[in-house]
Amino acid sequence: MSQASQTKPGQTKPGQTKPGQTKPGQGRPGQGRPGQGRPVQYGGGRPGEKQTRRPRREPVEEVWVPKTILGQKVNSGEISSIEEIIEAGLRIQEAGIIKKLLPDLKSEVVDVGIIQKMTSNGQSTRFKAIVAAGNENGYLGIGQGKSKQMRIAIEKATSQAFLNVSPIKLGCGSWECRCDQKHSVPFKIKGKGGSVTIEIIPAPRGLGLVAGGKIKRLLELAGLKDAWTTAKGSTPTMNSTSKAILDCLRQTFSQG
């Protein structure tokens, strides 16, 4: 027997590894990728150590597939504006139609609340959200949604706001200004929602919006830059206030 083939007890042949040892470039099972001693940990660690953050997942945009005849016409390009739909007296049943015709539409959460109700099984809690959608150039819609989760309530309200988008006629109806720019309403309008009554009066250019915080933001989404406003009733109730504003601004397109 040659000397190269003779090994003493406890020794290993050249190229072999002892039990429990790993070859260079290999990791133990369950300890990350090959070549790494420890798996990558996100967050945690001791104070002062450099922590690695988990990469964020980018939201996947869903492709809109029209389900109604109106949606198919909009998707094919036969209808190119909301005014054509309103003049024909058609009903919009898909939020994707508004997104297709108005890609620059912005949505903003106006108010969030909690609904509590006593049932036979105990107290049930749901969330309520009011969302406004507008492009700051003559279009505004307001929607409301309810759900057990806040995120789903906001999504429902956003979809409803898109369906309620209405065109608004802008102009200059102030006798102090008399310009040709679209910075205010063309005439005095009044709208009502619940116990709230809101009146919008044309104002000269450069005055700004004379209104409260949330009412002012809704008028900015509609595209108004200068206006006087008066409000009566329970204005902190945003459900009634938002309906009054939308009813008020819709009259500019129907009457004008």
Each of the 256 residues of the chain gets a pLDDT tens digit; together they read 455 555 555 555 555 555 555 555 555 555 545 555 555 555 555 666 666 777 777 666 678 888 999 999 998 989 888 888 888 888 889 988 999 999 889 999 999 999 999 988 889 999 999 999 999 988 999 999 999 999 999 999 999 999 999 889 999 988 888 888 889 999 999 999 999 999 999 999 999 999 988 899 999 999 999 999 999 999 999 999 999 999 999 888 776 5
Q: Which two tokens stand for residue 42?
A: 């996100």
Q: What is the second-level CATH architecture of the domain 189-255? A: 2-Layer Sandwich (3.30)
pLDDT given at position 6: 55
Contact in structure between 156 and 149 (CB atoms under 8 Å): no
Sequence-distant (≥ 6) Cβ neighbours of residue 60 within 8 angstroms: none
DSSP secondary structure, 44-80, as one string: ---TTS--BPPPPPPPPPPPP---SHHHHHHHHTS--
pLDDT given at position 86: 85
pLDDT given at position 196: 93
Q: What residue ranges of the chain are covered by domains with CATH 3.30.230.10?
A: 189-255
> Virtual CA dihedral for 150, 152, 157, 160, nearest 10 degrees?
-170
- Give the pairing of strands 189-193 and 209-210: unpaired
Q: Which two tokens stand for residue 96?
A: 């994707």
pLDDT given at position 129: 95
Spatial distance between the Cα atoms of 104 and 207, rounded to a whole number of angstroms:
27
Q: Which two tokens stand for residue 163?
A: 């369906």
142 beta partners? 132
pLDDT given at position 180: 86
pLDDT given at position 164: 92
Q: Pick the closest to residue 214 from 186, 183, 179, 241 (CA basis).
A: 241
Among positive and negative, which fits the CA dihedral 94, 99, 102, 108?
Answer: positive
Spatial distance between the Cα atoms of 166 and 186, rounded to a whole number of angstroms:
17
Among positive and negative, which fits the CA dihedral 115, 214, 249, 137?
Answer: negative
pLDDT given at position 11: 59
Phi, psi dihedral angles at 153 (to 5 degrees): -65, -40
Look-up of token digits 């830059």: 225
233 to 22, 49, 199, 241, 249: CA distances (angstroms): 78, 58, 12, 9, 18
Q: Which helix (H) or strand (E) holds 13?
A: none
231 to 234, 236, 240: CA distances (angstroms): 9, 11, 11
Q: Which two tokens stand for residue 33?
A: 């990728």
Q: What number of residues does the chain have?
A: 256
